[in-house]
Structure 1
């Protein structure tokens, strides 16, 4: 909205101190009387009549004022015999001064502002009033005068209004800005600082710009309501009772969550009600939780020498999902009960259980056991800390069951001893606990010779009815390892003893020696057989048979990409793959763009001991959520794993301070698509193929890392000052799972249709082969100097055309070999597309043989440039040359055509190559684009059949 400050208004209020031939005349118009300053000496030569205003004081900041005149000019033809000396214009002058000079008047002190000419001339019978506004610029002194010079016209001045424009006082984004006088032409935008409204704060000083037309534009910096306040009609008002806001942000106050106290207005947080708590990892803005109730339906069953405890989850979880269980055990012998301690074994564990069952073993028979299962949650520890043990009530989260373990399972073997020893035999005895058993017990004895030099071990197994045995036919002076297990009634093993070692005595007989030599010979033979079997087995694992045609020759690199989304705590991934930088080492210089999460700056990174380097700094905008922060930093977790000259390099991150940042190397020429459009036609095919080779090398590296980019496009390729291209923007990228198909299936989200392979669009399955399709589109973009793929076709039209086997035609001047590679990348069967390794090899071959780039692919300008031909966007013929040039994106040459006198489309159709050069089109790419467009125009209008280029 614009405002104007008036310096003075109707002319009738002016004191005109200088009056040469001007007269004050009373007139009647539309029934009302008013005064005018008039002069009408049309019959006299050499007229020089001046009318000057009084001193007009200037507001110090108003350097630009507007003068609005209302006047009447008489038609010279209405005067008989005066047409030779009569004029129909007058002049406006101005003079600056620091003080009122009174009636002193010097024409030399005035400078001309403008010549005033009427739009409508008054005849004898009809009065016509004109309104004209002129601008007086660059005023700098305390005041000024206006003067009007008549040089022979018949004029009547009705009113003069002098004013300046202001940007009105306003409130934007909770920042208050004062009324500001608009600047002049030399200060088109006047920067104004504001202040946050009451109860609002800002991380940086809010600013806005006032235009010369009195309009506010480009607000910078944003105020946000303090904690406990929300924005209501440009004000920050307290949160109403029962609601809260925890931090300064643009969010609204939210109702207090479940199980919290509803405080009065202006609450920053809602505390928990009595008996409810927040866990240490719970956000302070979340709901409060109660203790879980006890588990239900605790059941104990015995099977295979073990006790299985099962139960149902608590009926009331307290509003939490992090329920775990712990098991407590007591054993009673007679009247004495004590904790089981480490005497028994739990599987999988006795604490921290998430499942509702546990297996208990190592129990003693004929003892009473009491098991207590207690439910826990994240707030359980808080309740135990808050209440002293002596005052703590019985747990309402525990469920207890007692049972008599009868020992019908095999007992526990506690010790094994040698009763008798000889050179060829050992007599063994073992203890059993408990000693009393309701039924007979059988034992399984396993033993083997201890020989660390043999790869093949022979075990001997004996089934025994008692807890002792004599083993004969052993080797003298040899160590043996023994293990005993008690068997249950169904033959399944029970508790086992520790493995024990016993040796035979060293006394040998002749027969014993023969036996030993025989055993040694047999062992050597067995060793030879085992070695042969292992060798054959290893060879049998050699990979044979046909493999996937796309992935068959790819070798996995030493390093494989790790998806940071698999980390339970995303911050761990950031710390693992990215270097932390202190903010004091970073200097922001200039905003160069805006990303999804905040502004992007060009800056300087100066780490002690390292050379100063230029960097790009991605920032996270104020008021972010924790999820937005994690999503923002996940790109750094991805980039930090890559190290290749054609992949954008991550310098580091700032995560341990309030303002999170991602710092990467600075690419001077920005995005590849925009850079090519700005330099259309300036690069030879050899240079363009060199750019493509760098992109392909970067994608080969990513593919070898088992990584799919998913959003490969020229807009996501950055270019440095040596024209080196680097792959960037890993926001949509995902890991390539290690499976035969090598696909990643998305769960939703947008897909860049024009760059995406048909199978990825149809089934949302992405592979390195789908990245190859996207690389083919990037090749087309590069060879077409940043042209939009598929031009103005809609996404639906693009998908339909691809499914009907349509492929983008060759760009203008595209080498045939390069276009053939594009077509290979766009094969419908993804298994037949080349791999990135193949693409790099082919591009290297083309670069080593520049002559191979001289053969140009067939080109049809009516398709390849996607020209509207002889009609504009609405289907009608072009109405002007400028409209035609704009349609082929060559509007920068509109002035060249106009200066050469080519102003109609018929003249355009007659132009030759030489004519286009002569009007100033020098770049080869631009010259050919215009020439091909004319060829398309001629072909459709049938005026010429051949146009030589």
Structure 2
């Protein structure tokens, strides 16, 4: 439909013909109704031509014109002829070539009653074309009558001595016509109501269409539709056709509210009915819950192919297989492996001693390692192929492999120990490698006298034993014997040559157990290197950042954590770390409610968690955005592997993860007040000093727990502390390197990556030496942020300026009203020598003492507004005095009070300098933090002026 203006006519002089009945005053002179031929057409016109009679005052009034209630702006189109005064011989000076138009409102028709005083002038009508004798030139003018409010009105035309013919008077108002646009219907709307330039009009979606917001358009003064806002879209099963929503044709569907057309039914679906929102799957084909309705239906996968086993080491093999020939058209294949062991024609499920690496179910790769196999048994492994639709069918796509009897090597003898010795006997024991059979191994022991090895004939004594200890008697005193122990295979053959060891019997007459001296030495020889290897291996697999050279960690208390953090990145399969440290949650137990933020990997929601048997709880839900790579998925879930190892009231609690479904999620407890820095900025001056110190105590307690677990946070900042409804603070954000990779805020690039300069200790910046001591430095910055109500550390200094200042021993000054004891603790955290910084144990203890003795918080640290409110409180950005109150308030981030200053008449900086604390309070600055910020800034300005005056003198 056209968007052109619609005109509603209220009066048309031409249409009325001779039945006008307008009132003339005076009645016998002036205007008169004539029948006139103009350009060959017959018209009834009102004319007046009393030019030669001198000054005139002739009025012509219309009949009562009823007004539509909403039509407050009326257009009057006039067609008229005006004769040139020079065309009259002897025309007086009073001759006019214009006439006036008037209007008067009324609630009822007053008949022939006519009072000039009731009329208000609308316009003086002047022609564009002047007619001369025999040459009639028609003029067309349109005038506007505004602000009409009563039921009707009159128009009047005043002649003051001209020669005028009114050919046509057409009175109308404009409206924006009823229209359907963007699947929304808008009603006929009168233009110019209350003289509003753009009148907003709400529309209504057509049948079978909906909109997220009410569709709107704007009607102009000229009756034109402009600026459409919002759009309706057809509901599922309907598509837009000529501004209507029509049902999808058979064989087509539309699954969602959108402006798209209906789609043809996808592969493996049945022909749909009219208005279908989806196409049902054919028999034997399915959709998974994660599949969109626009996707085709999938068949079940066929069985895996070519299952085979490869032996790796003793009791360990690798199962491999080929994917199914037919995947059913899906790419979400996974595999599970089950096991039976057979002995003497009887089979039973494999026990818990058999392990699958990485695991036995939900395998994405076509291989798995089996550990813990025993000798002498047959194993049957069954591999099942599954896809996202396998759950809808009871049939299983499996392939099996029955291994032959596993021929694995017998255990090996690792060391021989002398347990006891006498003059005629030696008691020996030995250790073996891991057993790979449930049957006890047998051993072959051979021994001889040492001196017999130099002759051509050597005599060996051979013993076959079933235990790893033996006492050998009837030996010669003071004689050295050579021993060799080897393990026997299942068939009774020795496993290798075995290493020879020498032991000596005691001299005759000497008896007793000498094992502590002799055998003890052998034990040290064999065992200590092994222990040392294990110890080093454990340190390599740990996240602990400390070393023997680090005096900060030299105390025994620091070296004995109750539990040690395990870095999930040391796992060959990161998914195994997630399964070990995090609880799997079914997505049906999670309800998302609203978006509360955005993380690196996706949006963060507030929602609920309802696990059967547990009370429903509020949670925060981190999601992984679509289109992620497998590497991004592993990095996303690694944070859960870290959080899952922690359990402390001041560490954000991990509720669980969703990993076995398409959309991975991390679910944590919900913290109502969000990030600490934003909370403090929003409540500047509203939180007491005692509460602030309590917050710091909670953060320090959480960091002490992490330090005790050998975990180094590396990104401790107020933005990474979350606050709940009880103002409890909890340490969060354990995705360090990933966050820093994409966060340009406060980071500095080094050869090892990016680090947050403003919060990082100097040794960590220079040498990337991250320890619990560097976390203590960061905690000092967090203390400053908290006491400064979220102020940015080092203000607007650049990263290079910050590093240079720190190296030159500059430290952040005390915030306003900061207790001296708290600021002194900050300075201790910022000591250049990290070994001299307090430990988190010391920090928690000191803050606890301050909280137990609130009087200790009343001594306030020295405050210098020229430094603590850096630059903004003393001068403009270029060092010059402030030019206006607005510039000054903006510099100290108090622009919201500009109107307060203006209303109080404080419009110059000279007036600002005269203000006292009570004056600032009286203009409406009530919040304590804001009041102090403004007052201290004024003090800084006065102090600067005084200093400049001294220099000037």
* TM-score band, normalised by shorter chain: 0.5 to 0.7
Deviation at 1:168, TM superposition (A): 7.0
Q: What secondary structure sits across from 2:621 in the alignment?
A: strand
Aligned to 2:497: 496
Deviation at 1:690, TM superposition (A): 1.0
Counterparts in 2 of 1:442-521, with a 5 A limit?
447=447, 462=453, 465-466=456-457, 475-476=473-474, 483=484, 496=497, 521=510
Q: What secondary structure sits across from 2:640 in the alignment?
A: helix
Deviation at 1:854, TM superposition (A): 1.8
Whether the aligned pair in 2 keeps the contact of 1:711 and 1:752 (CA below 8 Å) is: yes
Change in Cα spacing, 1:585 to 1:710, as seen in structure 2 (3 Å) is same
CA distance in 2, matches of 1:674, 1:570: 34
Deviation at 1:699, TM superposition (A): 1.0
**Which range is displaced more, 585-594 or 928-937?**
585-594
Change in Cα spacing, 1:10 to 1:535, as seen in structure 2 (3 Å) is same
Change in Cα spacing, 1:581 to 1:166, as seen in structure 2 (3 Å) is farther
Whether the aligned pair in 2 keeps the contact of 1:578 and 1:640 (CA below 8 Å) is: yes
Q: Is residue 616 of structure 1 aligned with residue 620 of structure 2? A: yes
Q: What secondary structure sits across from 1:648 in the alignment?
A: coil
Whether the aligned pair in 1 keeps the contact of 2:8 and 2:175 (CA below 8 Å) is: no
Deviation at 1:548, TM superposition (A): 2.9
Counterparts in 2 of 1:132-147, with a 5 A limit?
none
Aligned to 2:906: 902
Aligned to 1:230: none
Q: Which whole-Å deviations, capped at 9, do the CAs of 1:429-472 have from their partners, x for residues lacking one?
A: xxxxxxxxxxxxxxx99528xxxxxxxxx98883564575689x
Whether the aligned pair in 1 keeps the contact of 2:176 and 2:188 (CA below 8 Å) is: no
Whether the aligned pair in 2 keeps the contact of 1:20 and 1:50 (CA below 8 Å) is: no
Aligned to 2:827: 823
Change in Cα spacing, 1:556 to 1:483, as seen in structure 2 (3 Å) is closer
Q: What secondary structure sits across from 2:552 in the alignment?
A: coil
Counterparts in 2 of 1:556-635, with a 5 A limit?
556-635=560-639
Aligned partner of 2:930 among 922, 926, 945 = 926
CA distance in 2, matches of 1:216, 1:12: 32
Deviation at 1:841, TM superposition (A): 1.8
Aligned to 1:313: none
Q: Which whole-Å deviations, capped at 9, do the CAs of 1:258-309 have from their partners, x for residues lacking one?
A: xxxxxxxx9999xxxxxxx9868999999xxxxxxxxxxxxxxxxxxxxxxx
Deviation at 1:572, TM superposition (A): 1.7
Counterparts in 2 of 1:227-376, with a 5 A limit?
none
Q: Which whole-Å deviations, capped at 9, do the CAs of 1:215-265 have from their partners, x for residues lacking one?
A: 668999xx9xx9xxxxxx999999xxxxxxxxxxxxxxxxxxxxxxxxxxx
Aligned to 1:548: 550
Change in Cα spacing, 1:866 to 1:525, as seen in structure 2 (3 Å) is closer
Aligned to 1:914: 918
**Which range is displaced more, 566-575 or 867-876?**
867-876
Change in Cα spacing, 1:483 to 1:619, as seen in structure 2 (3 Å) is closer
Deviation at 1:604, TM superposition (A): 2.2
Q: Is residue 672 of structure 1 aligned with residue 672 of structure 2? A: no
CA distance in 2, matches of 1:757, 1:194: 65
Deviation at 1:612, TM superposition (A): 2.4
Q: What secondary structure sits across from 2:632 in the alignment?
A: helix
CA distance in 2, matches of 1:50, 1:121: 20
Deviation at 1:928, TM superposition (A): 0.9
Deviation at 1:909, TM superposition (A): 2.0
Q: What secondary structure sits across from 1:632 in the alignment?
A: helix
Change in Cα spacing, 1:466 to 1:160, as seen in structure 2 (3 Å) is farther
Count of matched residue positions in the alignment of Structure 1 and Structure 2: 648
Aligned partner of 1:522 among 503, 507, 511 = 511
Whether the aligned pair in 2 keeps the contact of 1:22 and 1:49 (CA below 8 Å) is: no
Whether the aligned pair in 2 keeps the contact of 1:670 and 1:719 (CA below 8 Å) is: yes
Deviation at 1:146, TM superposition (A): 9.7
Change in Cα spacing, 1:522 to 1:721, as seen in structure 2 (3 Å) is same
Q: Which whole-Å deviations, capped at 9, do the CAs of 1:503-530 have from their partners, x for residues lacking one?
A: xxxxxxxxxxxx9997684343555776
Q: Which whole-Å deviations, capped at 9, do the CAs of 1:72-93 have from their partners, x for residues lacking one?
A: 9xxxxxxxxxxxxxxx999999
Deviation at 1:598, TM superposition (A): 2.6
TM-score (norm 1): 0.53
RMSD (CA atoms): 7.1
Deviation at 1:534, TM superposition (A): 9.0
Aligned to 1:751: 755
Q: Which whole-Å deviations, capped at 9, do the CAs of 1:540-561 have from their partners, x for residues lacking one?
A: x99xx99632111213312211
CA distance in 2, matches of 1:785, 1:864: 13
Deviation at 1:934, TM superposition (A): 1.4
Aligned to 1:785: 789
CA distance in 2, matches of 1:938, 1:531: 82
Counterparts in 2 of 1:764-913, with a 5 A limit?
764-869=768-873, 878=882, 880-913=884-917
CA distance in 1, matches of 2:523, 2:496: 35
Deviation at 1:11, TM superposition (A): 7.9
TM-score (norm 2): 0.52
Deviation at 1:157, TM superposition (A): 12
Whether the aligned pair in 1 keeps the contact of 2:184 and 2:232 (CA below 8 Å) is: no
Q: What secondary structure sits across from 1:522 in the alignment?
A: coil
CA distance in 1, matches of 2:157, 2:881: 48
Change in Cα spacing, 1:236 to 1:865, as seen in structure 2 (3 Å) is farther
Q: Is residue 8 of structure 1 aligned with residue 6 of structure 2? A: yes
Q: What secondary structure sits across from 2:716 in the alignment?
A: coil
Whether the aligned pair in 2 keeps the contact of 1:167 and 1:215 (CA below 8 Å) is: no
**Which range is displaced more, 745-754 or 804-813?**
745-754
Change in Cα spacing, 1:475 to 1:649, as seen in structure 2 (3 Å) is closer
Whether the aligned pair in 1 keeps the contact of 2:11 and 2:170 (CA below 8 Å) is: no
CA distance in 2, matches of 1:792, 1:129: 62
Q: Which whole-Å deviations, capped at 9, do the CAs of 1:895-944 have from their partners, x for residues lacking one?
A: 43344333433332221111122223232222111111111232334499
Deviation at 1:676, TM superposition (A): 0.8
Q: Which whole-Å deviations, capped at 9, do the CAs of 1:78-130 have from their partners, x for residues lacking one?
A: xxxxxxxxxx999999xxxxxxxxx9999xxxxxxxxxx99x9999999x999
Q: What secondary structure sits across from 1:587 in the alignment?
A: strand
CA distance in 2, matches of 1:923, 1:649: 34
Q: Which whole-Å deviations, capped at 9, do the CAs of 1:404-423 have from their partners, x for residues lacking one?
A: xxxxxxxxxxxxxxxxxxxx
Deviation at 1:67, TM superposition (A): 8.8
Q: What secondary structure sits across from 2:677 in the alignment?
A: helix
Change in Cα spacing, 1:538 to 1:598, as seen in structure 2 (3 Å) is closer
Change in Cα spacing, 1:746 to 1:643, as seen in structure 2 (3 Å) is farther
Q: Unaligned 5+ residue runs, structure 2?
A: 26-30, 32-56, 78-100, 111-119, 129-140, 159-168, 190-195, 219-226, 237-251, 253-258, 265-294, 299-320, 332-364, 369-374, 376-396, 398-423, 426-443, 463-471, 487-493, 533-546, 740-748
Q: Is residue 727 of structure 1 aligned with residue 716 of structure 2? A: no
Change in Cα spacing, 1:844 to 1:67, as seen in structure 2 (3 Å) is farther
CA distance in 2, matches of 1:212, 1:464: 115
Whether the aligned pair in 1 keeps the contact of 2:639 and 2:734 (CA below 8 Å) is: yes
Aligned to 1:686: 690
CA distance in 2, matches of 1:209, 1:830: 62
CA distance in 1, matches of 2:774, 2:757: 12
Aligned to 2:355: none
Q: What secondary structure sits across from 1:760 in the alignment?
A: helix
Whether the aligned pair in 2 keeps the contact of 1:708 and 1:733 (CA below 8 Å) is: no
Deviation at 1:641, TM superposition (A): 0.7
Aligned partner of 2:705 among 698, 701, 707 = 701
CA distance in 2, matches of 1:927, 1:918: 11
Deviation at 1:678, TM superposition (A): 1.3
